[in-house]
């Protein structure tokens, strides 16, 4: 068991949603959340909320993870100020639900730049010091979409497939070197992610009853920080479907029918 108390936990995409919940939960357990996101005004709000509720002075830095030069600069700053990064949560990401032929190349590039390359860049920025220290934890927020792709999420799902592939390969590369790698694969979470991803509102309307609460997902991730696991799949029943899909994809696609076309 690894206690979070006095640990430095860097969280990307920390200006709202799951990232903000994670930052608060880490602070409540005595850790130091370091907040990274593009929106400085929102970061300041999260920072002030954490200070007010916990007394923890959570530092924050503006960062667009798709800007690789900025990633290097910001993480150098973080490492120089905090000395160590014990846990990195690669949470920043976005999706746009649209059919592939309708997708703009800007959105396609943007999703890969943020969801995949940005995640890799942040990981690369902290991994050498973790390996040198012989301890650390990389937590990558993937998705159940990385296991089962559905219509109108072909590109988004491709980025999450990439996150899972990267996480699994990295885990094997650094096995027995003291650094854990965890993939988090949630179903839909009730956050502002869908403001951009689902502009029609149809998907949210169709799956609203199935949506996970960010507070619940955050709680499970913090538990995984203290007891590292290979994967965290939420909800469990959705992962059963993902597992069956690996065994009998044609049957699951046939049975999925309308449920796969919620967007």
- Sign of the dihedral through C-alpha 32, 36, 40, 43: negative
Please indicate whether residue 61 is annotated as part of the active site: no
Answer yes or no: are the C-beta atoms of 8 and 87 closer than 8 Å: yes
Annotated catalytic residue within 60, 156, 203, 245: 156
Angle value at C-alpha 149, between 107 and 98, nearest 5 degrees: 35
Q: How far apart (Å, rounded) are the C-alpha atoms in residues 138 and 36? A: 15
Q: Which two tokens stand for residue 166?
A: 């990267």
Residue environment code for 80-94, b if the CB has 16+ CB neighbours within 10 A, otherwise e: eeeeebbbbbbbbbb
- Angle between helices 214-226 and 17-28 in degrees, nearest 10: 50
Q: Please identify every residue annotated as catalytic.
A: 156
């Amino acid at each position: 068991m690894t206690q979070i108390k006095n640990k430095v936990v860097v969280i990307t995409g920390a200006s709202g949603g799951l990232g903000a919940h994670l930052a608060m939960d880490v602070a409540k357990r005595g850790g130091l959340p370091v907040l990274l996101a593009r929106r400085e005004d929102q970061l300041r709000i999260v920072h002030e909320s954490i200070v007010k509720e916990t007394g923890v002075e959570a530092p924050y830095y503006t960062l667009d993870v798709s800007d690789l030069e900025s990633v290097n600069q910001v993480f150098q700053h973080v490492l120089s100020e905090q000395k160590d990064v014990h846990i990195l949560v690669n949470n920043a990401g976005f999706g746009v639900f649209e059919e592939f032929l309708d997708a703009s190349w800007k959105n396609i590039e943007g999703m890969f730049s943020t969801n995949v390359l940005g995640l890799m860049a942040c990981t690369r920025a902290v991994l050498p010091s973790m390996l040198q220290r012989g301890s650390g934890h990389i937590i990558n927020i993937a998705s159940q979409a990385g296991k089962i792709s559905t219509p109108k999420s072909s590109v988004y799902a491709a980025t999450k497939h990439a996150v899972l592939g990267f996480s699994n390969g990295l885990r094997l590369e650094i096995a027995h070197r003291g650094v854990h790698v965890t993939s988090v694969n949630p179903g839909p979470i009730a956050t502002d992610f869908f403001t951009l991803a689902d502009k029609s509102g149809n998907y949210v309307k169709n799956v609203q009853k199935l949506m996970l609460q960010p507070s619940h997902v955050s709680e499970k991730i913090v538990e995984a920080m203290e007891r590292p696991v290979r994967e965290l799949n939420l909800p469990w029943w959705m992962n059963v479907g993902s597992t069956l899909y690996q065994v009998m994809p044609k049957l699951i696609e046939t049975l999925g029918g309308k449920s796969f076309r919620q967007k």
